[in-house]
Structure 1
Amino acid sequence: MLISPCSVSRFVAALHRLVALDLDQSWAKAKKNQQATGVRHTQKVQSESAGLVSERLSHQTTDIRGTSMIGQNRMGIVAGIILSVFSCVAPAAEKITLLTEQYPPYNMSMTVQGYAHKSEDIGGLCTDIIRATFAKAGIEYRMKLRNWSYGMDRVQRRVNHGLFCTVRTEERESVFKWVGPITTMKVALMAKGDSGIKLNRLSDARRYTIGGYKGDAFTGQMVSEGMNVSIASDDMANPLRLQNGSIDLWVTDVLAGPYKASEAGDLDELKIALELKSSPVYLAFNTETDDEILQSLQNALGSLKEDGTITALEHQYGL
């Protein structure tokens, strides 16, 4: 269980109040005893007047009520200490929800559907690294595979939600908190295997229609470069669009492209028309997520890199 700094500060403040209350009670009791002793030594009268008796009875009643109120006050402070600590612990103890998309071999459904509700139904390189990282950090999570644009929107609105594998761009920098990099993707413009398209530089692609999809960082980069981009709602549509001639090129990862093309079924062969660059990918969190959780995950990921676990997983997937 993670305890945030606010729990410590609240506990100390409440403890100070409790100690101060005890000191005040001790001082008041000592003063009262001293006054009572003085009365016994100086008082020579054998009998007291009815008014004095009544006055003393009144004081005793007041003392009893005061003691009761002090006890209640003290119990209230103790209860406040407990509530203060656990009000800080609760957010850190909440299970993390992770979202990803169908983007093999990095993240992929292990069932026939293009989505998944359970962690055990999701596989891939990024998924394996994320699982190892959370296990190392000792943090509980749930994982779901959804449409990418849905995941982007969901994580921005929900605390303790994360999205992987996410390219870290200037536009996204302040929108999320980041853990990583997890691994690296190699971006390329892909064409059909029998295509006659030849590119020497990115500017050569301006005459062609490039397929991308909503919410994708690589697609956004093509748009910012002034390319003619046709944006689909889901990347799984692009292999089919490439096959039927709706687009000439497809911006994708060099590993993910062939995987998706094979899933589409009708596209027999792809070729790299132009390899662009390598992009590190991250686990992106909602900005209200506890920094202690993020630091624990970052430390765990660093340990997995140092002991060779990450490299071994990357080699299994062809990187």
Structure 2
Amino acid sequence: MFLGSMASESALASEKLYIYTENFPPYNMSATGRAFEHNANSIDGICTEMVQAILQKTDLDYVIKLRNWDFGYNRALSKPNHGIFCTTYTEERAQRFKWVGPLTKNLWTIFAASGTNLKIDKLEDTKGMLYAGYRNDVMTNYLLERGYEVSAMESDDINPKRLELGQVDLWIADRLAGPYFASLQDVEGLEPVFSFNETELYLAMNLETSEEVMKKLQGGLQEIKDSGMYEAIETKYGL
């Protein structure tokens, strides 16, 4: 009996999930304004509420932590039972993870400084201009792969201020997250000058995560959709 109990506890421990997110309001963010958080109670946002609701519909043991994007992304990429949200689903990333979602959607938006006269009809109109972005972000990578100039930081927090001060010409961000970050930096009047590429956001799990765990996560997502909780969370954040 003792040996069997020990084996059972070991199996459960091996299935514990370590899930990371970043400060990307209003999708995921610290509830206390800190750069890092160590438990789910101190993390807020659309995707955070979705992921917590999904996990609460399962019997899985888990922790959710807020770190910078590079740290969480590389953990999810390299360690079994590790994951990261909200992660944009792309063809390039598709084979790197197992996916739960979509949790919600976002719309890529280019912001210019207050009072701009800039008119953009297509993305190519911004060739030769310097963008603010952040490292390993899907929007930043998209621009870099197509030959655009991007000054990428460790996080998006200071990019609104960089744009206001004229250190960059443009800033690429999400339609909801952009204005939120700007308000946190007391930056007003940034103007959305072009939007494109609506994408879906997911919980991305390491490829070695078991199919049993993935089935439970997908089942939890279906439960919150069936109960109306999914729609209620989106409505709460104005989607």
TM-score, scaled to structure 1: 0.70
Where does residue 236 of structure 1 map in the other structure? 157
Correspondences of 1:60-75 after superposition (within 5 Å): none
Instruction: State the AA in 2 paired with 1:268.
Output: E
Where does residue 141 of structure 1 map in the other structure? 62
Task: Find 1:297's aligned residue among 213, 217, 227.
Answer: 217
Matched residues in 2 for 1:94 and 1:303: separation?
21
- Does the CA-based 8 Å contact 1:92-1:290 persist in structure 2? no
Correspondences of 1:1-319 after superposition (within 5 Å): 82=4, 86=7, 90=11, 94-265=15-186, 267-319=187-239
Higher relative contact order (CA 8 A, sep 6+): 2
The CA deviation at 1:154 is 1.5
SS state of the match for residue 103, structure 2? strand
Matched residues in 2 for 1:128 and 1:87: separation?
30
Instruction: State the AA in 1 paired with 2:85.
Output: F
The CA deviation at 1:140 is 2.4
Matched residues in 1 for 2:183 and 2:78: separation?
34
The CA deviation at 1:89 is 7.0
- Does the CA-based 8 Å contact 1:92-1:293 persist in structure 2? no
Q: Could you say if the C-alpha distance between residues 289 and 92 of structure 1 is closer, same or farther in structure 2, counting changes exceeding 3 Å?
A: farther
Structure 1 runs (4+) greater than 4 angstroms displaced: none
SS state of the match for residue 196, structure 2? strand
Instruction: State the AA in 2 paired with 1:240.
Output: K
The CA deviation at 1:93 is 5.8
Which structure features the higher share of strand residues?
2
Matched residues in 2 for 1:121 and 1:244: separation?
32
Instruction: State the AA in 2 paired with 1:150.
Output: F
Which structure features the higher share of helix residues?
1
Instruction: State the AA in 2 paired with 1:282.
Output: Y
- Does the CA-based 8 Å contact 1:95-1:140 persist in structure 2? yes
Structure 1 unmatched runs, 5+: 1-77
Matched residues in 2 for 1:262 and 1:163: separation?
26
Question: Alpha-carbon deviations, 1:127-179, whole Å to 9, x = none?
Answer: 00011100112322111110001111112222211100001122222221111
Instruction: State the AA in 2 paired with 1:123.
Output: D
- Does the CA-based 8 Å contact 1:162-1:285 persist in structure 2? yes
Question: Alpha-carbon deviations, 1:42-67, whole Å to 9, x = none?
Answer: xxxxxxxxxxxxxxxxxxxxxxxxxx
Structure 2 unmatched runs, 5+: none
Matched residues in 1 for 2:226 and 2:97: separation?
26
Instruction: State the AA in 2 paired with 1:289.
Output: T
SS state of the match for residue 153, structure 1? helix
Q: Could you say if the C-alpha distance between residues 268 and 79 of structure 1 is closer, same or farther in structure 2, counting changes exceeding 3 Å?
A: closer
Q: Could you say if the C-alpha distance between residues 88 and 115 of structure 1 is closer, same or farther in structure 2, counting changes exceeding 3 Å?
A: closer
Of all paired residues, the percent bearing the same amino acid is: 38
The CA deviation at 1:88 is 10
Instruction: State the AA in 2 paired with 1:273.
Output: V
Question: Alpha-carbon deviations, 1:55-94, whole Å to 9, x = none?
Answer: xxxxxxxxxxxxxxxxxxxxxxx999x59x9479705763
SS state of the match for residue 158, structure 2? helix
Number of positions where the alignment pairs a residue of Structure 1 with one of Structure 2: 239
Instruction: State the AA in 2 paired with 1:166.
Output: T
SS state of the match for residue 172, structure 1? helix
Instruction: State the AA in 1 paired with 2:230.
Output: I
The CA deviation at 1:225 is 2.5
SS state of the match for residue 132, structure 1? helix
Q: Could you say if the C-alpha distance between residues 92 and 296 of structure 1 is closer, same or farther in structure 2, counting changes exceeding 3 Å?
A: farther
